[in-house]
């Protein structure tokens, strides 16, 4: 992705930016802190993610397991990670591969909830309500998050 910016001097500046999802940042970024009251996770003290506390804690636990495995590999380069990790690496790969699908599902659920709230508001005001096409149905597949919970002690 390229981004262009014009400064006050009128000079054009180009930047290369990279979009990174929440999952890689939570797994490989800076220190993760969970704010239970605000239902959010913070990475490296400045990147904030809206997340259910349980999900944020699961990511922290998975990251702890991954960090421990990587430290073992550094200490013993001959260590067979595939054998040692069991399903840990497979779960991380699955989680990273399904991030877009999970985000899409969450957006669909939010859109459906927003449409229902607007419809209820309009109905309360006596206005006609039209179906938005979503039918109030959302997908709830959380296979990756369920697999993730196996690594929490």
One DSSP character per residue, 78-101 reads T--HHHHHTTHHHHHHHHHHTHHH
| Beta carbons of 57 and 75 less than 8 angstroms apart | no
d(Cα 145, Cα 153) in Å, to the nearest integer?
15
The yes-or-no verdict on residue 146 having pLDDT over 50 is no
- Domain-wise residue ranges, the chain: 2-149
Q: Which of 9-13, 22-26, 89-93 has the lowest mean pLDDT?
A: 9-13
Mean pLDDT of 69-92: 90
Question: pLDDT value at position 119?
Answer: 77
Strand order in the sheet with 47-50: 32-35, 40-43, 47-50
pLDDT at 8: 61
pLDDT digits (tens, 9 = 90+) for 19-67: 788 899 999 999 999 999 999 999 999 999 898 999 999 999 999 999 9
């Amino acid at each position: 992705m390229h981004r262009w910016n014009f400064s006050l001097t009128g000079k054009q500046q180009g930047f290369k930016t990279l979009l990174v999802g929440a999952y890689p940042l939570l797994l490989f970024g800076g220190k993760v802190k969970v704010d239970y009251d605000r239902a959010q996770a913070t990475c490296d003290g400045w990147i904030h993610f809206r997340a259910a506390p349980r999900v944020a804690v699961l990511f922290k636990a998975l990251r702890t397991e991954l960090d421990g495995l990587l430290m073992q590999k550094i200490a013993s380069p001959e260590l067979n990670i595939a054998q040692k990790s069991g399903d840990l690496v497979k779960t991380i790969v699955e989680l990273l591969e399904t991030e877009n699908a999970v985000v899409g599902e969450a957006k669909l659920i939010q859109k459906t909830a927003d449409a229902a709230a607007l419809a209820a508001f309009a109905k309360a005001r006596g206005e006609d309500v039209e179906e938005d096409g979503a039918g109030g149905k959302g997908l709830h597949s959380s296979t990756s998050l369920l697999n993730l919970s196996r690594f929490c002690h």
